[in-house]
Amino acid sequence: MSLGQMSIAKLSVIYLLLGATVNTELAYDEINEESQEKEEVVERVPIFTTEQHSKLINQGDRIRLPCFVDKLDGFVVLWKRGETIISVENRVISFPDNRAKIEGEKNGNWLIIESAREQDEGTYTCHITAFPPQEISHRVRIRTRPEISSVQDRVVVKEGDTVDLSCYIKAGYPYPEITWTKSNPRDNFGVKSVGSGPDLMLQNVSYDMAGVYRCRADNGYPVYSDDIVNVTVLHKPYIDKGDGFVHAHSKGSIPLSCRISAYPKAKVHWSYVDHKGRGQEISGENWEEKSVYSVSLPASEAKLGDYRCHAVNEFGSQQATIKLSNLAGPIKFQSYQVENSSSVYNLTWSGESSAPVSQFHLIVTRDGSELINTPVIPSHNTESNWTAWYIMTELEPSHQYAAKISASNSHGQGPFFGPWKFGPEKSGNSGVEAVLIPSKYSAVMINLVMILNMLFSRF
Protein backbone atom coordinates (compact mmCIF):
# COMPACT_ATOMS: atom_id res chain seq x y z
CA MET A 1 0.00 0.00 0.00
CA SER A 2 1.44 3.41 -1.03
CA LEU A 3 1.88 6.47 1.15
CA GLY A 4 -0.95 8.10 -0.78
CA GLN A 5 -3.35 5.24 -0.06
CA MET A 6 -2.51 5.27 3.66
CA SER A 7 -3.06 9.02 3.91
CA ILE A 8 -6.36 8.84 2.07
CA ALA A 9 -7.53 6.07 4.43
CA LYS A 10 -6.65 8.13 7.49
CA LEU A 11 -8.28 11.30 6.13
CA SER A 12 -11.41 9.35 5.21
CA VAL A 13 -11.77 8.04 8.77
CA ILE A 14 -11.31 11.54 10.20
CA TYR A 15 -13.84 13.09 7.82
CA LEU A 16 -16.38 10.33 8.50
CA LEU A 17 -16.02 10.66 12.28
CA LEU A 18 -16.62 14.43 11.95
CA GLY A 19 -19.71 13.73 9.86
CA ALA A 20 -18.20 15.33 6.79
CA THR A 21 -18.30 14.04 3.25
CA VAL A 22 -14.97 12.65 2.18
CA ASN A 23 -13.66 14.29 -0.95
CA THR A 24 -11.13 11.67 -1.88
CA GLU A 25 -10.13 13.38 -5.13
CA LEU A 26 -9.11 16.56 -3.27
CA ALA A 27 -7.25 14.53 -0.63
CA TYR A 28 -5.41 12.67 -3.33
CA ASP A 29 -4.30 15.92 -5.02
CA GLU A 30 -3.11 17.39 -1.71
CA ILE A 31 -1.09 14.31 -0.83
CA ASN A 32 0.48 14.21 -4.29
CA GLU A 33 1.59 17.81 -3.88
CA GLU A 34 3.21 17.02 -0.50
CA SER A 35 4.92 13.82 -1.56
CA GLN A 36 6.11 13.79 -5.10
CA GLU A 37 6.79 10.26 -6.28
CA LYS A 38 9.47 9.83 -8.88
CA GLU A 39 7.72 6.80 -10.31
CA GLU A 40 4.03 6.41 -11.10
CA VAL A 41 2.16 4.34 -8.52
CA VAL A 42 -0.80 2.17 -9.57
CA GLU A 43 -3.51 2.39 -6.87
CA ARG A 44 -5.29 -0.93 -6.17
CA VAL A 45 -8.98 -1.03 -5.18
CA PRO A 46 -10.05 -3.99 -2.96
CA ILE A 47 -12.80 -6.22 -4.35
CA PHE A 48 -15.64 -7.39 -2.12
CA THR A 49 -15.93 -11.14 -1.66
CA THR A 50 -19.06 -10.61 0.44
CA GLU A 51 -22.44 -10.51 -1.29
CA GLN A 52 -25.22 -8.15 -0.31
CA HIS A 53 -27.81 -9.71 1.99
CA SER A 54 -31.41 -9.05 2.94
CA LYS A 55 -31.99 -10.74 6.28
CA LEU A 56 -35.18 -11.40 8.22
CA ILE A 57 -34.11 -11.79 11.85
CA ASN A 58 -36.33 -12.97 14.68
CA GLN A 59 -36.69 -10.50 17.51
CA GLY A 60 -34.26 -11.49 20.25
CA ASP A 61 -31.90 -13.37 17.92
CA ARG A 62 -28.36 -12.34 16.92
CA ILE A 63 -27.69 -10.21 13.83
CA ARG A 64 -24.43 -11.17 12.08
CA LEU A 65 -23.39 -9.19 8.99
CA PRO A 66 -20.23 -9.88 6.91
CA CYS A 67 -17.77 -7.51 5.25
CA PHE A 68 -14.81 -9.12 3.45
CA VAL A 69 -12.61 -8.19 0.49
CA ASP A 70 -10.04 -10.09 -1.51
CA LYS A 71 -7.13 -8.11 0.00
CA LEU A 72 -7.53 -5.40 2.60
CA ASP A 73 -4.00 -4.01 2.12
CA GLY A 74 -4.19 -1.81 5.24
CA PHE A 75 -7.40 0.00 4.25
CA VAL A 76 -9.77 0.84 7.10
CA VAL A 77 -13.14 -0.95 7.49
CA LEU A 78 -16.04 1.06 8.87
CA TRP A 79 -19.65 0.08 9.59
CA LYS A 80 -22.42 2.66 9.24
CA ARG A 81 -26.18 2.78 9.63
CA GLY A 82 -27.36 5.69 7.57
CA GLU A 83 -24.89 8.48 8.34
CA THR A 84 -24.11 7.16 11.81
CA ILE A 85 -20.79 5.36 12.18
CA ILE A 86 -21.04 2.20 14.27
CA SER A 87 -17.42 1.03 14.18
CA VAL A 88 -13.94 1.79 12.87
CA GLU A 89 -11.83 -1.28 12.19
CA ASN A 90 -12.49 -3.60 15.16
CA ARG A 91 -13.63 -0.89 17.55
CA VAL A 92 -17.31 -0.04 18.16
CA ILE A 93 -17.81 3.74 18.25
CA SER A 94 -21.53 3.97 18.95
CA PHE A 95 -24.46 1.60 19.33
CA PRO A 96 -27.44 1.63 21.76
CA ASP A 97 -27.12 -0.51 24.93
CA ASN A 98 -23.64 -1.70 23.95
CA ARG A 99 -25.18 -4.64 22.06
CA ALA A 100 -22.81 -4.40 19.07
CA LYS A 101 -19.34 -5.86 18.65
CA ILE A 102 -16.88 -6.55 15.84
CA GLU A 103 -15.35 -9.95 15.13
CA GLY A 104 -12.25 -9.37 13.03
CA GLU A 105 -10.90 -11.90 10.55
CA LYS A 106 -8.42 -11.79 7.69
CA ASN A 107 -9.44 -9.23 5.05
CA GLY A 108 -12.57 -8.07 6.88
CA ASN A 109 -14.83 -8.51 9.87
CA TRP A 110 -18.32 -9.32 11.13
CA LEU A 111 -20.74 -6.82 12.66
CA ILE A 112 -22.51 -8.63 15.51
CA ILE A 113 -25.64 -7.21 17.19
CA GLU A 114 -27.04 -9.17 20.12
CA SER A 115 -30.72 -9.48 21.12
CA ALA A 116 -32.23 -7.94 17.98
CA ARG A 117 -34.95 -5.34 18.56
CA GLU A 118 -37.50 -3.69 16.30
CA GLN A 119 -35.46 -0.47 16.23
CA ASP A 120 -32.49 -2.41 14.82
CA GLU A 121 -34.28 -2.73 11.48
CA GLY A 122 -32.59 -0.82 8.66
CA THR A 123 -29.68 -0.76 6.20
CA TYR A 124 -26.16 -1.45 7.44
CA THR A 125 -23.26 -0.37 5.20
CA CYS A 126 -19.68 -1.58 5.26
CA HIS A 127 -17.31 1.16 4.02
CA ILE A 128 -13.74 0.53 2.81
CA THR A 129 -11.60 3.70 2.79
CA ALA A 130 -10.06 3.11 -0.63
CA PHE A 131 -9.87 5.42 -3.62
CA PRO A 132 -12.58 5.61 -4.69
CA PRO A 133 -14.35 4.46 -1.47
CA GLN A 134 -15.95 0.99 -1.67
CA GLU A 135 -19.25 0.11 0.05
CA ILE A 136 -21.59 -2.84 0.40
CA SER A 137 -24.95 -2.72 2.21
CA HIS A 138 -27.10 -5.30 3.99
CA ARG A 139 -30.83 -4.88 4.60
CA VAL A 140 -32.08 -6.12 8.00
CA ARG A 141 -35.74 -6.66 8.89
CA ILE A 142 -36.85 -7.71 12.37
CA ARG A 143 -39.56 -10.37 12.60
CA THR A 144 -41.66 -9.83 15.74
CA ARG A 145 -43.82 -12.23 17.69
CA PRO A 146 -47.42 -12.40 16.44
CA GLU A 147 -50.36 -11.73 18.71
CA ILE A 148 -54.02 -12.38 17.85
CA SER A 149 -57.26 -11.92 19.73
CA SER A 150 -60.82 -13.06 19.06
CA VAL A 151 -63.62 -10.51 18.86
CA GLN A 152 -66.05 -12.89 20.62
CA ASP A 153 -65.27 -15.43 23.30
CA ARG A 154 -68.57 -17.30 22.89
CA VAL A 155 -71.27 -17.33 20.25
CA VAL A 156 -74.75 -18.86 20.55
CA VAL A 157 -76.60 -19.50 17.28
CA LYS A 158 -79.76 -21.33 16.28
CA GLU A 159 -79.55 -24.26 13.89
CA GLY A 160 -80.01 -23.04 10.31
CA ASP A 161 -78.82 -19.49 11.00
CA THR A 162 -75.60 -17.77 9.86
CA VAL A 163 -72.89 -16.50 12.20
CA ASP A 164 -69.63 -14.59 11.66
CA LEU A 165 -66.53 -15.28 13.76
CA SER A 166 -63.71 -12.73 13.80
CA CYS A 167 -60.15 -12.37 15.07
CA TYR A 168 -57.76 -9.45 14.69
CA ILE A 169 -53.98 -9.04 14.70
CA LYS A 170 -52.65 -7.08 17.67
CA ALA A 171 -48.94 -7.40 16.83
CA GLY A 172 -46.51 -9.13 14.51
CA TYR A 173 -44.21 -8.31 11.60
CA PRO A 174 -44.35 -9.37 8.83
CA TYR A 175 -48.16 -9.37 8.96
CA PRO A 176 -49.14 -12.86 10.16
CA GLU A 177 -51.22 -15.35 8.21
CA ILE A 178 -54.50 -16.21 9.95
CA THR A 179 -55.96 -19.73 9.78
CA TRP A 180 -58.99 -21.33 11.47
CA THR A 181 -59.42 -24.83 12.89
CA LYS A 182 -62.29 -26.53 14.70
CA SER A 183 -62.34 -29.18 17.40
CA ASN A 184 -65.28 -30.92 19.02
CA PRO A 185 -65.52 -33.30 22.00
CA ARG A 186 -67.98 -35.34 19.95
CA ASP A 187 -65.14 -36.03 17.48
CA ASN A 188 -62.71 -36.97 20.30
CA PHE A 189 -61.32 -33.44 19.95
CA GLY A 190 -60.14 -34.15 16.41
CA VAL A 191 -58.95 -30.96 14.71
CA LYS A 192 -59.81 -29.97 11.15
CA SER A 193 -59.03 -26.90 9.07
CA VAL A 194 -62.08 -24.74 8.33
CA GLY A 195 -60.81 -21.50 6.78
CA SER A 196 -58.34 -18.63 6.61
CA GLY A 197 -58.34 -14.87 7.05
CA PRO A 198 -59.56 -12.69 9.92
CA ASP A 199 -63.25 -13.52 9.39
CA LEU A 200 -64.97 -16.92 9.25
CA MET A 201 -68.61 -17.16 8.13
CA LEU A 202 -70.65 -20.21 9.17
CA GLN A 203 -73.74 -20.51 7.01
CA ASN A 204 -76.82 -22.69 7.54
CA VAL A 205 -75.36 -23.83 10.85
CA SER A 206 -75.98 -27.48 11.77
CA TYR A 207 -75.72 -29.09 15.20
CA ASP A 208 -72.40 -30.76 14.37
CA MET A 209 -70.84 -27.34 13.67
CA ALA A 210 -70.82 -26.61 17.40
CA GLY A 211 -67.42 -26.73 19.04
CA VAL A 212 -64.23 -24.76 19.65
CA TYR A 213 -63.02 -22.60 16.77
CA ARG A 214 -59.39 -21.51 17.00
CA CYS A 215 -57.85 -18.64 15.04
CA ARG A 216 -54.08 -18.83 14.69
CA ALA A 217 -51.58 -16.16 13.65
CA ASP A 218 -48.28 -17.30 12.16
CA ASN A 219 -45.57 -15.26 10.44
CA GLY A 220 -42.68 -17.72 10.81
CA TYR A 221 -41.67 -16.58 14.29
CA PRO A 222 -40.74 -19.56 16.49
CA VAL A 223 -43.91 -19.08 18.55
CA TYR A 224 -47.36 -18.59 16.99
CA SER A 225 -50.35 -16.98 18.67
CA ASP A 226 -53.92 -18.23 18.87
CA ASP A 227 -57.27 -17.54 20.49
CA ILE A 228 -60.58 -19.40 20.61
CA VAL A 229 -64.29 -18.85 20.05
CA ASN A 230 -66.74 -21.31 21.58
CA VAL A 231 -69.73 -21.87 19.30
CA THR A 232 -72.93 -23.26 20.81
CA VAL A 233 -75.72 -24.37 18.46
CA LEU A 234 -79.29 -24.44 19.74
CA HIS A 235 -80.89 -27.51 18.16
CA LYS A 236 -83.40 -30.31 18.54
CA PRO A 237 -82.22 -33.76 19.67
CA TYR A 238 -80.32 -36.00 17.28
CA ILE A 239 -79.93 -39.68 18.20
CA ASP A 240 -77.14 -42.09 17.32
CA LYS A 241 -78.36 -45.57 18.23
CA GLY A 242 -75.12 -47.32 17.23
CA ASP A 243 -75.77 -50.84 15.93
CA GLY A 244 -79.41 -50.63 16.99
CA PHE A 245 -79.09 -54.21 18.20
CA VAL A 246 -78.56 -55.66 21.68
CA HIS A 247 -78.09 -59.35 22.46
CA ALA A 248 -80.29 -60.69 25.23
CA HIS A 249 -78.66 -62.85 27.86
CA SER A 250 -80.20 -64.57 30.85
CA LYS A 251 -78.11 -63.25 33.73
CA GLY A 252 -77.71 -59.89 35.43
CA SER A 253 -79.00 -56.79 33.66
CA ILE A 254 -79.21 -55.69 30.04
CA PRO A 255 -78.24 -52.07 29.23
CA LEU A 256 -79.87 -50.22 26.33
CA SER A 257 -78.12 -47.03 25.22
CA CYS A 258 -78.44 -44.22 22.70
CA ARG A 259 -76.13 -41.24 22.16
CA ILE A 260 -78.03 -37.95 22.00
CA SER A 261 -76.88 -34.54 20.86
CA ALA A 262 -79.24 -31.78 22.02
CA TYR A 263 -78.99 -28.19 23.22
CA PRO A 264 -80.60 -27.36 25.55
CA LYS A 265 -80.30 -30.78 27.17
CA ALA A 266 -83.05 -33.20 26.16
CA LYS A 267 -85.48 -35.08 28.36
CA VAL A 268 -85.24 -38.79 27.54
CA HIS A 269 -87.61 -41.65 28.21
CA TRP A 270 -87.69 -45.30 27.14
CA SER A 271 -90.59 -47.47 26.04
CA TYR A 272 -91.24 -51.00 24.81
CA VAL A 273 -92.95 -51.25 21.41
CA ASP A 274 -95.68 -53.90 21.36
CA HIS A 275 -96.86 -55.89 18.34
CA LYS A 276 -99.28 -53.08 17.45
CA GLY A 277 -96.53 -50.48 17.42
CA ARG A 278 -97.66 -48.83 20.62
CA GLY A 279 -95.09 -47.66 23.14
CA GLN A 280 -95.29 -48.85 26.71
CA GLU A 281 -93.11 -46.82 29.05
CA ILE A 282 -90.65 -48.97 30.94
CA SER A 283 -89.17 -48.60 34.37
CA GLY A 284 -85.53 -49.28 35.09
CA GLU A 285 -82.35 -47.67 36.25
CA ASN A 286 -81.61 -44.65 34.04
CA TRP A 287 -78.30 -42.78 33.76
CA GLU A 288 -76.48 -40.39 31.47
CA GLU A 289 -72.75 -40.09 30.82
CA LYS A 290 -71.13 -37.90 28.16
CA SER A 291 -74.35 -37.59 26.12
CA VAL A 292 -75.00 -41.35 26.26
CA TYR A 293 -78.39 -42.09 27.80
CA SER A 294 -78.94 -45.62 29.10
CA VAL A 295 -81.57 -47.75 30.81
CA SER A 296 -80.83 -51.05 32.54
CA LEU A 297 -83.34 -53.92 32.28
CA PRO A 298 -83.30 -57.00 34.53
CA ALA A 299 -82.34 -59.90 32.23
CA SER A 300 -84.97 -62.16 33.76
CA GLU A 301 -87.79 -59.69 33.03
CA ALA A 302 -86.70 -58.16 29.71
CA LYS A 303 -88.96 -58.80 26.73
CA LEU A 304 -87.51 -59.53 23.30
CA GLY A 305 -88.47 -57.00 20.67
CA ASP A 306 -88.13 -53.29 19.93
CA TYR A 307 -87.35 -50.59 22.48
CA ARG A 308 -87.71 -46.92 21.74
CA CYS A 309 -85.42 -44.11 22.89
CA HIS A 310 -87.33 -40.79 22.77
CA ALA A 311 -85.69 -37.38 23.31
CA VAL A 312 -87.33 -33.93 23.38
CA ASN A 313 -86.37 -30.31 24.09
CA GLU A 314 -87.86 -26.91 23.21
CA PHE A 315 -86.61 -27.11 19.61
CA GLY A 316 -88.07 -30.51 18.73
CA SER A 317 -87.87 -34.24 19.31
CA GLN A 318 -86.49 -37.45 17.82
CA GLN A 319 -86.77 -41.14 18.55
CA ALA A 320 -84.81 -44.28 17.62
CA THR A 321 -85.54 -47.99 17.89
CA ILE A 322 -83.18 -50.59 19.39
CA LYS A 323 -83.86 -54.31 18.98
CA LEU A 324 -83.33 -56.71 21.88
CA SER A 325 -82.87 -60.23 20.47
CA ASN A 326 -81.57 -63.69 21.33
CA LEU A 327 -80.04 -63.90 17.85
CA ALA A 328 -76.28 -63.43 17.56
CA GLY A 329 -74.96 -59.90 17.42
CA PRO A 330 -73.77 -57.28 17.25
CA ILE A 331 -70.66 -58.25 15.26
CA LYS A 332 -67.58 -56.06 15.64
CA PHE A 333 -64.75 -55.91 13.12
CA GLN A 334 -61.31 -55.95 14.74
CA SER A 335 -59.06 -55.61 11.67
CA TYR A 336 -57.22 -52.50 10.59
CA GLN A 337 -58.84 -50.87 7.58
CA VAL A 338 -55.48 -50.72 5.79
CA GLU A 339 -52.71 -53.24 6.41
CA ASN A 340 -49.01 -52.92 5.55
CA SER A 341 -48.97 -56.03 3.39
CA SER A 342 -49.21 -55.32 -0.31
CA SER A 343 -51.88 -57.91 -1.05
CA VAL A 344 -52.78 -59.88 2.11
CA TYR A 345 -55.61 -58.86 4.41
CA ASN A 346 -56.47 -60.44 7.75
CA LEU A 347 -60.20 -59.92 8.27
CA THR A 348 -61.00 -60.53 11.95
CA TRP A 349 -64.28 -60.14 13.80
CA SER A 350 -66.20 -61.22 16.87
CA GLY A 351 -69.89 -61.59 17.67
CA GLU A 352 -71.94 -61.87 20.86
CA SER A 353 -74.18 -64.86 21.51
CA SER A 354 -75.19 -66.72 24.67
CA ALA A 355 -76.12 -69.73 22.56
CA PRO A 356 -73.29 -71.44 20.62
CA VAL A 357 -72.59 -69.93 17.19
CA SER A 358 -72.63 -72.67 14.57
CA GLN A 359 -71.24 -70.49 11.78
CA PHE A 360 -70.75 -66.99 10.50
CA HIS A 361 -71.86 -65.90 7.05
CA LEU A 362 -69.38 -63.64 5.22
CA ILE A 363 -70.10 -61.54 2.15
CA VAL A 364 -67.26 -59.53 0.56
CA THR A 365 -67.75 -57.08 -2.29
CA ARG A 366 -65.25 -55.40 -4.57
CA ASP A 367 -66.33 -52.03 -5.94
CA GLY A 368 -69.90 -52.91 -5.00
CA SER A 369 -69.99 -56.29 -6.79
CA GLU A 370 -70.19 -59.51 -4.78
CA LEU A 371 -66.85 -61.28 -4.67
CA ILE A 372 -67.14 -63.80 -1.80
CA ASN A 373 -70.25 -65.39 -0.24
CA THR A 374 -69.27 -68.15 2.16
CA PRO A 375 -69.89 -69.66 5.61
CA VAL A 376 -67.05 -69.38 8.17
CA ILE A 377 -66.67 -71.61 11.22
CA PRO A 378 -65.81 -69.82 14.50
CA SER A 379 -62.17 -70.20 15.52
CA HIS A 380 -62.74 -69.91 19.27
CA ASN A 381 -64.97 -68.35 21.90
CA THR A 382 -64.74 -66.85 25.37
CA GLU A 383 -68.05 -67.16 27.21
CA SER A 384 -70.51 -65.34 24.92
CA ASN A 385 -67.90 -63.84 22.59
CA TRP A 386 -67.27 -65.74 19.33
CA THR A 387 -64.33 -64.99 17.01
CA ALA A 388 -63.23 -65.92 13.48
CA TRP A 389 -60.55 -64.97 10.95
CA TYR A 390 -60.59 -64.86 7.18
CA ILE A 391 -57.33 -64.35 5.26
CA MET A 392 -57.59 -62.71 1.86
CA THR A 393 -54.67 -62.62 -0.56
CA GLU A 394 -53.81 -60.80 -3.77
CA LEU A 395 -55.97 -57.77 -3.14
CA GLU A 396 -55.63 -54.94 -5.63
CA PRO A 397 -54.92 -51.43 -4.32
CA SER A 398 -57.04 -49.77 -7.00
CA HIS A 399 -60.25 -51.38 -5.71
CA GLN A 400 -62.49 -50.80 -2.71
CA TYR A 401 -63.40 -53.88 -0.66
CA ALA A 402 -66.20 -54.18 1.90
CA ALA A 403 -67.39 -56.98 4.18
CA LYS A 404 -70.61 -57.70 6.05
CA ILE A 405 -71.20 -60.63 8.38
CA SER A 406 -74.05 -62.38 10.18
CA ALA A 407 -73.97 -65.25 12.68
CA SER A 408 -76.24 -68.26 13.27
CA ASN A 409 -77.08 -69.83 16.61
CA SER A 410 -79.82 -72.17 17.83
CA HIS A 411 -82.39 -69.36 17.50
CA GLY A 412 -81.63 -68.74 13.82
CA GLN A 413 -79.54 -66.44 11.67
CA GLY A 414 -79.01 -62.93 12.96
CA PRO A 415 -78.88 -59.71 10.94
CA PHE A 416 -75.88 -58.68 8.87
CA PHE A 417 -73.51 -56.11 10.35
CA GLY A 418 -71.29 -53.83 8.29
CA PRO A 419 -70.15 -52.87 5.76
CA TRP A 420 -66.51 -52.82 6.85
CA LYS A 421 -64.41 -51.11 4.18
CA PHE A 422 -60.80 -52.15 3.73
CA GLY A 423 -57.99 -52.51 1.21
CA PRO A 424 -54.23 -52.94 0.80
CA GLU A 425 -51.74 -50.12 1.13
CA LYS A 426 -49.39 -51.12 -1.70
CA SER A 427 -49.84 -52.57 -5.15
CA GLY A 428 -50.59 -56.26 -5.62
CA ASN A 429 -51.61 -58.77 -8.27
CA SER A 430 -55.12 -59.24 -9.63
CA GLY A 431 -57.55 -61.77 -8.21
CA VAL A 432 -58.48 -62.74 -4.66
CA GLU A 433 -57.86 -66.01 -2.86
CA ALA A 434 -59.24 -66.58 0.62
CA VAL A 435 -58.75 -69.17 3.36
CA LEU A 436 -59.92 -69.53 6.95
CA ILE A 437 -57.15 -69.43 9.59
CA PRO A 438 -57.84 -69.88 13.33
CA SER A 439 -56.64 -66.85 15.29
CA LYS A 440 -54.12 -68.84 17.36
CA TYR A 441 -51.89 -69.33 14.31
CA SER A 442 -49.02 -66.99 13.63
CA ALA A 443 -47.97 -65.07 10.53
CA VAL A 444 -45.68 -68.01 9.68
CA MET A 445 -48.75 -70.25 9.36
CA ILE A 446 -50.44 -67.66 7.15
CA ASN A 447 -47.45 -67.67 4.81
CA LEU A 448 -47.51 -71.48 4.75
CA VAL A 449 -51.15 -71.50 3.73
CA MET A 450 -50.42 -69.06 0.92
CA ILE A 451 -47.65 -71.37 -0.36
CA LEU A 452 -50.00 -74.37 -0.23
CA ASN A 453 -52.59 -72.39 -2.20
CA MET A 454 -49.99 -71.76 -4.90
CA LEU A 455 -49.03 -75.46 -5.01
CA PHE A 456 -52.62 -76.70 -5.24
CA SER A 457 -53.42 -74.22 -7.97
CA ARG A 458 -51.08 -76.15 -10.29
CA PHE A 459 -53.21 -79.32 -10.17
In the chain, the amino acid numbered 208 is D
Q: Which of 161, 178, 157, 160 shows the shortest CA–CA distance to 169?
A: 178
Which tens digits make up the pLDDT trace of 71-80? 998 899 999 9
Q: Rounded to an integer, what distance in angstroms lies between the CA atom of residue 278 and that of residue 282? A: 12
386-407: average pLDDT:
90
**β-bridge partners, 258:** 293
Which tens digits make up the pLDDT trace of 303-322? 999 999 999 999 999 999 99
Which tens digits make up the pLDDT trace of 181-211? 998 766 665 789 999 999 999 999 999 999 9
Which tens digits make up the pLDDT trace of 98-123? 999 999 999 999 999 999 999 999 99
For residue 264, cis peptide bond before it (omega within 30 degrees of 0): yes
pLDDT at 189: 59
Mean pLDDT of all residues belonging to the chain: 84
DSSP state letter for 265: P
Q: Please state whether the predicted TM-score (pTM) of the whole model is above 0.85.
A: no
Q: What are phi and psi of 186, to 5 degrees?
A: -65, -25
Which tens digits make up the pLDDT trace of 206-217? 999 999 999 999
**318 contacts 311 by C-beta, under 8 angstroms:** yes
Residue 20 has pLDDT above 60, yes or no: no
